[in-house]
Amino acid sequence: MPRPASLRWRLLGNLAGLLVLLMLASGLSAYWNGRQAADVAYDRTLLASARTISAGLFEQDGRLSLDVPYVALDTFAYDSAGRLYYQVNGIDGQLISGYENLPAPPSDTPRTDAYPALAKFYDGTYRGQDVRVVSLLKAVSEPSMNGMAEIRVAETDEARVSMARDLMTDTLLRLGMLGGGALLLVWITVSGALRPLERLRRAVEERRPDDLRPLPSEEVQRELLPLVQSIDHFTERLRLQFERQGQFIADAAHELRTPLAALKARVELGLRSEEASELKRTLHEGRDGIDRLTHLANQLLSLARVENGAQAIAEGGAQQVDLTELARDLAMAMAPLAHAKGIGLAFEAERPVLLDGEPTLLSELLSNLLDNALAHSPAGGTVVLRVMPGAVLEVEDEGPGIPATERERVFERFYRGRQQGTGLGLAIVGEICRAHRADISLHDGVQGGLCVRVDFALAAQAKALA
């Protein structure tokens, strides 16, 4: 997968993109406003030129004549890059002076309200160039004629476009300088804001693998404090997990050391004996010891599987399980073992019970509960496995039970109390219950034995809401 972009560069990239959009929008706005400002300025000059030309109209020999002053055509000599054209039409519309075929105002062109004059401003094309034109009507009142003369003055757009372009360029230049300064300021600010993260990185990198102390948070900004607290919380859970694993390894080593030492001593004693019966008895006792060690090793492996299964459930790997069907299958599988011990095995269930869980772990839970019940029930007794509505599981036997004072400790690893065994059976059951958020409790049985009740209400509710 591609490596995620740097936070600093991502922020600068987003800001640069926003600034580019703002510059484009501001540039277009500056060009538009500059063109409007140029139109207002140059329209005023166009009208002044038209008025100057209209002042040169006079009547001569019954005809309208024109004396065009030089200043009328020299108005733009110092500030205009465009070219001027003019045209004067008499009261009958005939050309008196100027250029022919200057564009006439469109019929829908309104008279300007910006100036006290009978003038119209409009855009057109003349000799292949875009021009801005003013059409000024001049009243002619002479003894021999009476009407309105028209003066048109046109200017090419180069000056207006140049002015608008200059305004846009100046605006973009200023915005570019402002944007560059803003990006530099953001770079410095972000770099300063990321220094605490760099210090945290160094603090974590320089630690020893076994150093799980909380991270320093004195100089951490408020926004980063939740991250540091979450890391500290995770580290604390990791420390507790390591402590549990270390304690478990120590307890397992202790539990394995004693039977191994006893098995070794028994074998050495048998080797010293020369009688065949003693050797045979030694072999039988060694086999029994190996069986116990194998059972202990299997339960230790079961604990490891429980931890992996609990992690899978926490990560969303739970499956839909019919607890009734699972319990029925296991009861049928263990029925021959119960029969061989002379113990009755009964199964009670009304209907299917669905919940979200890990089938292997649930089978391990049922197997351990039934195995403990069969191990402590006397011959002729009965073990009952019940699956009740509300996702409640019960295993009841007719054995000696567990005193109320010890019922809280029997779920600790390697705790045996008055019972025989490895001390891991109920510990495994307790771990599986925690993984499934189930509540386990011990009660007196109807016949004086022990009743183990497991309530899967939370797991069943999660299944019902899914």
DSSP run (H or E) holding 368: helix 359-376
Nearest in space to 135 (alpha carbons), one of 108, 98, 91, 105: 105
Q: Taking the chain, what is the end-to-end CA distance rounded to the nearest angstrom?
A: 32
Count Cβ atoms within 10 A of the Cβ of residue 428 and give its class: 0-12 exposed, 13-18 middle, 19 or more buried.
Answer: buried
Longest dimension (CA), the chain: 166
307-366, pLDDT tens digit by residue? 666 666 665 667 888 999 999 999 999 999 999 999 999 999 888 988 888 888 888 888
Q: Cβ distance 353 to 389 under 8 Å?
A: yes
Which domains, and CATH codes, for the chain?
7-166 (no CATH), 319-465 (3.30.565.10)
In a structure prediction context, what are the per-residue pLDDT tens digits for the chain, which is 466 residues long? 555 656 677 777 787 888 888 888 887 887 788 777 777 878 888 888 888 888 888 887 778 888 776 666 555 444 445 688 889 998 888 888 888 889 999 989 999 888 888 899 999 999 888 899 999 999 888 777 888 999 999 988 887 778 778 877 887 788 788 878 887 887 787 777 777 777 777 877 777 777 777 777 666 667 777 877 888 888 887 787 777 777 666 666 666 676 677 777 777 777 777 777 777 777 777 777 777 777 666 666 666 666 666 666 665 667 888 999 999 999 999 999 999 999 999 999 888 988 888 888 888 888 888 988 888 888 888 999 999 888 899 999 988 888 877 777 777 766 665 555 556 667 778 888 888 888 888 888 887 788 999 998 765 555 554 5
- Backbone φ and ψ for 451, nearest 5 degrees, come out as -120, 120
Residue 259: CB atoms within 10 A of its CB come to 15
Vertex 241: Cα angle to 235 and 243 (nearest 5): 105
Nearest in space to 50 (alpha carbons), one of 142, 171, 138: 138
Write 318-322 long-range contacts (CB < 8 A, 24+). 318/356, 318/357, 318/358, 318/459, 319/356, 319/357, 319/358, 319/359, 320/354, 320/355, 320/356, 320/463, 321/354, 321/355, 321/356, 321/357, 321/358, 321/359, 321/362, 322/352, 322/353, 322/354
Q: Give the CA distances from residue 6 to residues 12, 100, 182, 190, 307, in Å, rounded to whole numbers and listed in that order.
A: 10, 67, 19, 11, 37
Q: What span, in angstroms and rounded, lies between the C-alpha atoms of 170 and 162?
A: 12
Tokens encoding 65: 């004549």
Residue 382: partners with Cβ closer than 8 Å, 6 or more residues away: 343, 344, 345, 346, 397, 398, 447
Give the per-residue pLDDT at 463: 54
Q: Cβ distance 65 to 59 under 8 Å?
A: yes
